[in-house]
Amino acid sequence: MIYLKKSFVDACPVEEADVCLLGIPFDSTSISHGSRFGPAAIREALKDMEGYDSETGVNPFEKLRIADLGDIEIVPGSYKLTAERIVDTVEWIREQNPEAFVLSLGGEHLVSLPVIETLKPKTVVQFDAHADLREDFIGKKYSHADWAHYVARDFNLVQRGVRSWSEEEGRAIEEVKGNKISGPTYLTVDMDVFDPAIAPETGLPEPSGWSFDEFCNNLDSIKNENLIGADVVEFSPNGFNSPTAFLAANVIKKILSILSS
Ligand SMILES: [Mn+2]
């Protein structure tokens, strides 16, 4: 008998996996303390969290075959070089296994963009406190505050939970407001969509956010759509085993529960 407490899943080859898990610890455009330690803190919480989902009666971590690929070797300070590495890695996963659900852990919200551009869903559902629809941010293109501008240009963007935006973004919000979920869908969850009372460790907390039940209700509304990938981003841990870490782990559990039900 051996006693090994690994990450929450058994190792599984990429070509046999239902889900490929990827950490993307990039936070170089963040204006507050970073989210680069998000993947490590989420994996640690996943080790201890109850895997069984009492609502669906399924333990998605046992039912799904999950390949944890580790973290992308990012290039600090360079989104361009980091994005090339993200694209190459996600393309490689797709080549090995075109059916695999790609689940990534940020990192700041900008890391979602190259994953989305590689997976090419029809719809991108964004759970976020912020619109992130600026054309640039403090004179710079490609940051945590403008990634959704590029998504809205090329994909059907559906925003939920957004409660903070600039005057400039107000016009862009109106343009995407009527969009409906359809076709292959990618879900990106910014942890600041939750209320700061339950998720204080985010880059830019905004009051009046979601409860976990509100998250689940919004997730249920995309349940029957064709979900091809997801990410959880903008979790900036101050340490291990915090409420925000376990909330992020439970977000992952609920997403995987939908895939396995
Ligand atoms: Mn946000």
Q: What is the pLDDT of residues 100-159, one digit of tens each?
A: 999 999 999 999 999 999 999 999 999 999 999 999 888 889 999 999 999 999 999 999
Residue % of the chain over a pLDDT of 70? 96
| Whole-number pLDDT of residue 138 | 85
Q: Is the peptide bond before 23 cis (omega within 30 degrees of 0)?
A: no
For residue 247, the CA-to-ligand 1 centroid distance in Å is 16
Mean pLDDT of 219-224: 83
The Å distance, Cα 257 to ligand 1 centre, comes to: 24
Q: How remote is the CA of residue 88 from the centroid of ligand 1, in Å?
A: 26
CA 65 to ligand 1 center in whole angstroms:
30
CA of 62 to the centre of ligand 1 (A): 31
CA 4 – ligand 1 centroid, Å:
36
CA–centroid distance, residue 189 to ligand 1 (Å): 9
Other residues' Cβ atoms within 10 Å of the Cβ of residue 199: 26
CA of 132 to the centre of ligand 1 (A): 7
What distance in angstroms lies between residue 33's CA and the mean position of ligand 1's atoms? 14
Tell me, what's the pLDDT at 31?
A: 83
pLDDT at position 9:
56
Instruction: Measure 128 CA to ligand 1 centroid, in angstroms.
Output: 5
Name the pTM for this structure.
0.95
Report CA(203)–ligand 1 centroid distance (Å): 8
Residues in the chain: 261
What is the whole-number distance in angstroms between the Cα of residue 162 and the centre of ligand 1? Answer: 8
Residues 21-27, mean pLDDT to the nearest whole number: 96
Residues with CB under 5 A from ligand 1 (ion): 128-130, 190, 192
Of the pLDDT bands very low, low, confident and very high (cuts 50, 70, 90), residue 6 is: low
Diameter of the chain by CA atoms? 62
Residue 4 has what pLDDT? 64
Q: Cα-flanking dihedrals φ and ψ of residue 16, to 5°?
A: -105, 0
> What CATH architecture does domain 14-260 belong to?
3-Layer(aba) Sandwich (3.40)
Task: Give the Å distance between the CA of 212 and the centre of ligand 1.
Answer: 16
What's the pLDDT tens digit per position in 35-59?
999 999 999 999 889 999 999 999 9
pLDDT at 8: 56
Nearest to 218 by CA among 161, 156, 177: 161
Q: Which of 25-39, 45-59, 240-254: highest mean pLDDT?
A: 240-254
Quickly count: other Cβ atoms within 10 Å of residue 247's Cβ: 20
The residue extents of the domains of the chain are 14-260
